[in-house]
Structure 1
Amino acid sequence: MRGLRPAAWPIAAFLVGYPVWWALGFGGLCVVVVAPAMAAVLWRRRPIRAPRGFGLWLLLLAGYLISAVMLGEMPPGTYGEFGAGRLIGYLMRLVLYVSLLIMVLYLGNLTEEELPQLTLVRMLGALFVTTVAGGLLGVFAPRAAFTSPVELILPGWISGNPFVQNLIHPTAAQTQWVLGHPSPRPEAPFEWANAWGGNLSVLLVWFVVGWWVYGGPRRRTAAVLLVAPAAIPVVYSLNRGLWIGLGVAAAYLLVRLGGRARVVTCAILAAGALVFALSPLRTMVAQRLESPHSNDIRGFTVTATVAAASTSPIIGYGNTRNARGNHRTITTGKTDWCVTCGHPPLGGDGHLWHLMITQGFTGAALYVAFFAGAVRRHWRDRSPIGMAGVLVMVLTLLYMFVYDGLVTPLSLYLVSFALLWRNSMASTAA
């Protein structure tokens, strides 16, 4: 961080200072806090450059604005009344989308002297270290939690909203009955367990680039010592999406790398697989694969989401909705004696489905086109940052089926997109 130019401090405050934001209760919404500073930097260097394909993101944002007209409507098979909770959720997402748009333009308009590519990559690597530490905290102290300053300040009718509560109340882990008994799933320093899993895999990609590919002997040794403990929370997270994502990342590297790099990668993967097979972690993975308890729930939610979205396919409904019943009965719901009963909101089992219910099939198609277009445009970039960025775009398209992109995941996806954009501009200039 020494010698960092003033213009680069907002992104450093976001990525390197993330643990502080989490403890204060801002969490993933800290990008909203630093966005005005980023906008100020942009304003001073007009005209502003924009990346290819960014028009798709502008259309996505415009569609979200239009979808507000449907906030008061209820699609068939859902229940609930239009109220403050639905409006707050919509406005929070809107502010987040605008902040992320500012962040991407800000990163792409900083010069290499103001923010070197490797510095930005290593900022993401610093957040990876924080993520591993949070995962270990979730494994060994799963009940750790505290009331944040933001939570103390907000009125109860806002802080009590489930979506808001996940963002402002720092907890080490979510306890769920995944294996037939209470099992803690690490989530610190993010908003929920699935966000921890997806974010870890994305940050691991950049950590390897910054600490191994561009690192000397000391940094490479430290990288091995930091990555090895990550296996513990990765397994204890019981996160099949994360495991699949790591498998896809390994396959991607084997396909795209060549020569000595491929041999080294194969050796590392083989050694890691052997150590894992001989460790007690193997048993927990086997138990998780034998307990696909969430498959029926996801199947019901996805089916109900597509059915609801088909009644407003162009602009969606602006926000999520609650389904009637669950995968077992149409009568299940929240009651006075079981406030946690019911079914998760539609669109909560993957960002693709979230976009369908909030912005219709049009919004989902724009999201896919934006990230798929990034893969197509940058596939030929064989530099370490180019290959890593394309891998993150591939993971983004994979995770949209199983993870909600809000809040921190989408931030990391777009920082990775900005790295690809900056890389292409540097190549063109050279």
Structure 2
Amino acid sequence: MTPAARAATATADTGRTAGPAHGAGKPLTLPAWPVVSILALYPLWWALGLGVLIFAVMAVPMLFLLLRRRLAGRPLRLPPGFLWWALFLIAVVVSLGALGVDPPGTIAEHATARLPGAAYKLVMYAALTVLLLYAGNLTEAELPKRRLVKYLGWLFVVTVAGGLLGMVAGHFQFTSPVEMLLPAAVRNKGFVQSLVHPYAAQIMDLVGGDRPRPAAPWGYTNTWGNNFCLLAGWLVVAAGQSRKRSVRFWAIVCLLVSIVPAVVSLNRGLWIGLGLLIVYVAARYVLAGKMWITGVLAVAIALLGLALTVTPLGDVVGARLDNGKSNGVRSFLVDRALDGIGGSPIVGYGGTRNTAGGRQSIAVGETSSCERCGNFTVGGNGQLWQLLYSHGIVGTAGYLGFFTYVLWRFRRDRSAIGVAASAALVTSFSAMLWYNSLVTPLAFMVLAVALLWRNSMEGDPT
């Protein structure tokens, strides 16, 4: 058999294009373990103090494996609309040149002092880009979509468990191994603490008296609420794909139990997101002619109404709606962000800024015992405001353009995976008004994109 015939036979057997001579013997497949280890073991990473840092850590082997496979002759696929995302990444890099600018009403600071925070965001955006490409280039043989959905459903269970932990042991926290390795001057910084110091809840006074608001294992209460919305649909899909009645039973139990920490979190953004999620999914199924969803929706609303009526949860909701203590701060920061955009509308300022004082006076500010007293973060109250302020119109257009294009491109995907993924992205658009997406919420958004993308190429497994 001639060399050409042997190459043709190899191509027919594998379904792939034969690589160049120097790639002979090198594996053309991608292992699933980098993605699986992030998702399946996330509680472990949180306990070790790695938390969101695991995405940057695992991006290294993922990038190496992608490059190795590319050199072995297998093409690297890019998701639809990736040019929009590339535009966003370029804007993030270019905007770093404005780190030394001090917009009116903000604390003056040298660019080098702002560089660590901006560099952290850039590294995380790059790491999640690698995650998007890696998860999207995995095949059904390498990591079945059903399995990826199960891991995302598992993380919803973890989110509910973390919420219950925050409710019953709000002051629970411990020093992680990674934290122990850091110098005291570093690990005592508030931002570093949020990365490496595991705690169950944030203690806040929103409805009279300090109360724990669930945060584990996502670091912040707002991130917990954001991830709750992004992951809830995946538990439903995973349970629907399972042939075991016990799995479906416990999934229903988990969903019912999740109502309690969702309410106790006092997270209005979470409540709005869940409402949007339910309405969107119901609308998709009704448009597909599956009218039975209206019955399910009616039962769900009735059960929720009953729970709010006959349990103390209704009083919690009422108290939260009557006490909008954060409204003034959010309005203040939105105004500051919109005012600041005029000074650098194209590329923004490269990062957030701290206000000079608070809403009512500039005669308050940071002290050694209170790093953030009086100094609110412009761009820290929602992904949309952070994009506009930090990366300007160009960066915002790239970010929104990518996810909007993905939603439009895959709008006809009526599979369970397609509806759940698009629902997650739709809720992210409302969440960006009050939540920041980096790191874990954006990670779950790009994984939703990867599932939509792979669904279009491989088909729905159900």
TM-score range relative to shorter protein = over 0.9
Matched residues in 2 for 1:415 and 1:150: separation? 27
| 1:265 aligns to 2:293 (yes or no) | no
Q: CA separation in 2, counterparts of 1:195 and 1:339?
A: 21
Matched AA of 1:411: A
2:98 equivalent among 50, 55, 70: 70
Give the match for residue 191 of structure 2: 163
Following the alignment from structure 1 to structure 2, what is the Cα–Cα distance between the partners of residues 6 and 55?
24
- Using the size of structure 2 for normalisation, the TM-score is 0.88
Counterparts of 1:323-334 in structure 2 under 5 Å?
323-334=355-366
Kept in 1: contact 2:162–2:217 (CA 8 A)? yes
| 2:282–2:297 contact (8 Å) kept in structure 1 | yes
Selected match of 1:53 from 78, 81, 99: 81
CA separation of 1:325/1:38 partners in 2, compared to 1, >3 Å: closer, same or farther? same
* Separation in structure 2 between the aligned mates of residue 298 and residue 69 of structure 1, nearest angstrom: 27
Quick one: which of 165, 169, 173 aligns to 1:141?
Answer: 169
SS in 1 for 2:129: helix
Other-structure match for 1:180: 208
Please give the secondary structure, in 1, of the residue aligned with 2:31. Answer: helix
Do residues 40 (structure 1) and 68 (structure 2) align? no
One of 220, 231, 234 as aligned partner of 1:192: 220
Aligned residues of 2:55 and 2:128 also touching (Cα < 8 A): yes
Over 6 Å off, 4+ runs: none
From 5, 13, 34, the equivalent of 1:10 is 34
Which residue number in structure 1 is paired with residue 317 of structure 2?
A: 285
Tell me which residue corresponds to 1:150.
178
The aligned runs of 1:333-348 (5 Å cut-off) are 333-335=365-367, 339-348=371-380
* Equivalent in the alignment of 1:241: 269
Contact 1:213/1:384, CA 8 A, preserved across alignment: no
Whether the aligned pair in 2 keeps the contact of 1:301 and 1:346 (CA below 8 Å) is yes
1:105 aligns with 2:137: no
Q: Greater CA radius of gyration, 1 or 2?
A: 2
Whole-angstrom CA distance in 2 between matches of 1:117 and 1:303: 43
Instruction: Give the superposition deviation at 1:83.
Output: 6.1
| Contact 1:57–1:366 (8 Å) recurs in 2 | yes
SS in structure 1 at match of 2:261: helix
Aligned to 1:26: 50
Distance between the aligned counterparts of 1:96 and 1:44, measured in 2?
22
CA separation of 1:428/1:141 partners in 2, compared to 1, >3 Å: closer, same or farther?
A: closer
Amino acid paired to 1:412? F
Instruction: Give the one of 124, 130, 142 matched to 1:114.
Output: 142
CA separation of 1:83 and 1:155: change in aligned 2, threshold 3 A = farther
Q: 2:448 aligns with which of 405, 416, 419?
A: 416
Pair 1:319–1:215, CA change in 2 (3 A): farther
Partner deviation per Cα, 1:392-411 (whole Å, 9 max, x = no partner):
11011111111011121111
Find 1:87's aligned residue among 115, 122, 133: 115
Unaligned runs of 5+ in 1: none
Deviations 1:227-255 (A, max 9, x none): 22211211111000000001111111221
SS in 1 for 2:358: coil
Aligned-residue sequence identity (percent) comes to 43
| TM-score, normalised relative to structure 1 | 0.94
Check the 8 A contact 1:371/1:396 in 2, yes or no. Answer: no
C-alpha distance 143-428 of structure 1, shift in aligned 2 (>3 A)? closer
Q: Which amino acid aligns with 2:308?
A: F
User: Is contact 1:25–1:148 with CA below 8 Å preserved after alignment?
Assistant: yes
